[in-house]
Amino acid sequence: MIETQKTLLQRDKEFKIKQWKRREFVEYLQGVLHIFSIALVPSWRNVILLQKRSSMNTLSQIFVALLAVEHLYILWLEMFMWTTPLGRRTFSAMPSDLFEKTKGLAANQGLYNGFLAAGLIWSLFISDPVWSKNVALFFTSCIIAAGLFGAATAMRKIFFTQALPAIITLVILLLF
């Protein structure tokens, strides 16, 4: 009988702990969803006007937009033009017999560049100026890291075509 009571008390204790953890997790998720709802739901006025900010912030937005366009172009090159003459010319450091064999890998790389571009574009539509800048800083930093890694491991040219424009954008974001 005493064993049964101990077992029941232990089960009750475990149940209360699980309930507490579940409640804590739900509250955590509610907090996260609230934060994302603030960042994700721009007003139409802000979407159309890309947020009226000071002229210096407009400069930041222009550089972020240009960086996004560059990565959309890279997406297009790597996902759709990899085996075409334009793709072969753009990535001329690679032996020509490898283009067909690496088509899937290139498409995957292109998709990642698309995600970087999407993040930068998203930052332009966030209504909260602090969130907008932080999201832009995050994705710009990701591009810098990828560009530096690519320059160190693949082609030095990647530093000038990807990392350097992102570094310039990062400096402008931090200064203005």
Q: Which DSSP letter does residue 91 get?
A: T
pLDDT digits (tens, 9 = 90+) for 109-146: 999 999 999 999 999 999 888 899 999 999 999 999 99
| Angle at the Cα of 75 from the Cα atoms of 111 and 41, rounded to 5 degrees | 70
Q: pTM, whole model, 2 decimals? A: 0.67
Is there a contact between 111 and 52 (Cβ–Cβ < 8 Å)? no
Per-domain boundaries in the chain: 1-41, 44-175
pLDDT digits (tens, 9 = 90+) for 39-68: 545 544 444 444 444 334 899 999 999 999
